[in-house]
Structure 1
Amino acid sequence: MTLSVLPVSPAEHTLLRNLYPLYLHDLSEFGGGYSLDAEGLWQPDYLPYWLSGKEGCHPMLFRLDGRPVGFAMVGQAPFPFMTPGRDFHLSEFFVLRGARQHGVGRRTAFALFDLFPGTWELSQLSSNQGATVFWRRVIGEYMGGAFEDTTLDGNPAQVFDSRKRARISP
């Protein structure tokens, strides 16, 4: 199965707008303030910011054999929502449920870290223990265990430099 991880083109904005509510629906299980408004739209909705073309915003789309299976939002310094001294912040990461447990998340994470070499920070909602387990495992494998497990705004977080990657095949 061929996996691609590419920047979202303007022609794919509608596709991302269709995928994004699925991600917010999944997040709502863990709190974090995600809920439906009176018109049934998910709030808060940060997608307009990501699609604005602002410097440092990298919306990325994942495709498996040409079909969309997820996305990531990568912030690049000087991105306003990250710790000074970091190069990249993985703000949002989503893989469709049907593509989970098949290595898609791991492979896309590895691809993102390779595409954007530098010091990364990621954080998870503290109530989303599955995400924390996933990221510790994936980053640990990617980095050969060389990462910092810390907190960011009271949530579990990981910090590492992808330029120092442990070279393992995906």
Structure 2
Amino acid sequence: MTELTEDPDLTVRPATPADRPTVERLWLLFRHDLSEFGGQLPNPDGTFRSERLEAAFSGSGDWAPYLFSLGAHPVGFAFVRALTQPTRVLNSFFVVRGVRRGGIGMRAVREVVARHPGAWTVAFQDGNPGAVRFWRRVGDALDPGEWEEERRPVPNRPGLAPDVWISFRYPRTR
């Protein structure tokens, strides 16, 4: 069993095609976690919807996948989209449960957004209290007093509760 050390050596780097199998396995954990809040069930083969995963590894200049590791251990990922737009979207973000609430997520977000300075948006669900606390802390940490929050309907899913979106700028230029 591998345990988190006091001063973990976090690496946040662009995911390569060779990293795809690792990210695919982390994707299953991510989608499983989210299924608690949206009631999604796995496909008959045990996988979950993976359009965002496919898009992130498509080679499109509008998407970028990132992999987070502690030493040799993968601990999370992020998919950024809309890289060619004025506002980037942190489309998917995941940290394994074993390192949550220890600062790894905040460090990873900070490193990802620093690679693409400017305006950002992130969506999460109100029914996911951990995500609500985390993303509001991100707004406070990265764009104190300036970030905004709004609720937007989920496109083509009228039966779902609206997503919560935060918007921030990083770094904030005064």
TM-score range, shorter-chain basis? 0.7 to 0.9
| Aligned: 1:62 with 2:62 | no
| Aligned: 1:158 with 2:166 | yes
Tell me how far 1:155 sits from its aligned partner.
1.6
Match of 2:57 among 46, 51, 58: 51
Tell me how far 1:12 sits from its aligned partner.
0.8
Q: For the aligned residues, what is the CA RMSD? A: 1.9
Q: Which whole-Å deviations, capped at 9, do the CAs of 1:50-94 have from their partners, x for residues lacking one?
A: 211112111100011232100000112446xxxxxx421011000
Where do 4+ consecutive residues of structure 1 move more than 4 Å? none
For 1:125-164, what aligned pairs fall within 5 Å after superposition?
Answer: 125-153=125-153, 154-164=162-172
State the aligned residue count: 159
Q: Distance in 2 between matches of 1:165 and 1:68?
A: 33
Residue type at the aligned position of 2:168 = F
Tell me how far 1:97 sits from its aligned partner.
0.5
Tell me how far 1:147 sits from its aligned partner.
0.6
Q: Would the aligned equivalents of 1:118 and 1:161 in 2 still touch at CA under 8 Å?
A: yes
> Which residue of 2 is the match for residue 76 of structure 1?
82
Q: Distance in 2 between matches of 1:152 and 1:66?
A: 39
Structure 1: where are the runs of 5+ without partners? 80-85
Q: Would the aligned equivalents of 2:56 and 2:80 in 1 still touch at CA under 8 Å?
A: no
| Aligned: 1:99 with 2:103 | no
Q: Would the aligned equivalents of 1:3 and 1:65 in 2 still touch at CA under 8 Å?
A: yes
Q: Distance in 2 between matches of 1:163 and 1:102?
A: 23
Secondary structure in structure 1 of the residue aligned to 2:13: strand
Tell me how far 1:144 sits from its aligned partner.
2.1
Identity %: 33
| Aligned: 1:8 with 2:50 | no
Residue type at the aligned position of 2:30 = Y
Which region of structure 1 is more displaced relative to structure 2, 118-127 or 145-154?
145-154
Residue type at the aligned position of 2:166 = Q
